[in-house]
Amino acid sequence: MTTESRPLLESKELVAGYIPEVNVLNGCSVHVDAGELVGIIGPNGAGKSTLIKAMFGLVPIRSGQVYLRDDEITGARAHTLVAKGLGYVPQNDNVFPSLTIEETLQMGIFLRPKEYPERFKAVSELFPLLSERSNQRCGSLSGGERQVVAMGRALMTNPDVLFLDEPSAGLSPLMQDSVFEAVKKINAAGVSILMVEQNANSCLEISDRAYVLDQGKDAYTGTGRQLMEDPKVVELYLGTLARIG
């Protein structure tokens, strides 16, 4: 991607919601450049998770556009988007407890089984846990380990962009730290990331750029550091969000 081309991933003025005539997003615009880790923070009900679900084809888009490079992908189905280079890790119930780590990773690339050995090698080099304990059932893993398995499964298709929906939710502070380290490793390996996160301060600390969503719109944007030091953002959002996180 050249500096003159459009962002790797972009949403423009998205309006979306779960039920007719009730909008959760009210004209939300964000973008991710190649190699970036972009955070999405904001109060409960701001539309954070809805944004990435809409971009990933899981929530109906009423108006606005989503682009992957020069390809408009607005409203495309999730399986189509995976084939185009997007990955998604949901917040809850993102692994099957009865499956082993190996079986979970196989699910991530079940349409291209011949590629499994190569992708398993690449992903387990990033996270050795996946090969060292490949026969362990996911239900016996800690919350942080399950998140790593879920991210590993999404990486099996070798995505260009990975959506993460509150990866630290429900975890202890120590496990949250390990998950954020995993997120940084994925990004350092060349995967662009759009991450929704309730732990606002930790999200901003590792994000290249971030957006503050409020009432379904992108209210503020800047580098992670800029937002952490913006008095208005701190006053309106970070104090409450830090306590929640």
Tell me how many degrees the CA angle 70-42-162 measures, rounded to the nearest 5.
40
Domains present along the chain, CATH in parentheses: 9-244 (3.40.50.300)
Helix H or strand E encompassing 151: helix 143-155
Dmax (CA) for the chain in angstroms is 53
User: pLDDT tens for residues 76-133?
Assistant: 999 999 999 999 999 878 999 999 999 999 999 998 999 999 999 999 999 999 999 9
Name the pairing type of β-strands 9-16 and 25-32: antiparallel
User: pLDDT tens for residues 20-57?
Assistant: 889 999 999 999 999 999 999 999 999 999 999 999 99
Kindly write down the DSSP assignment for every residue of 55-89, as one continuous string. Answer: HTTSS-EEEEEEEETTEE-TT--HHHHHHHTEEEE
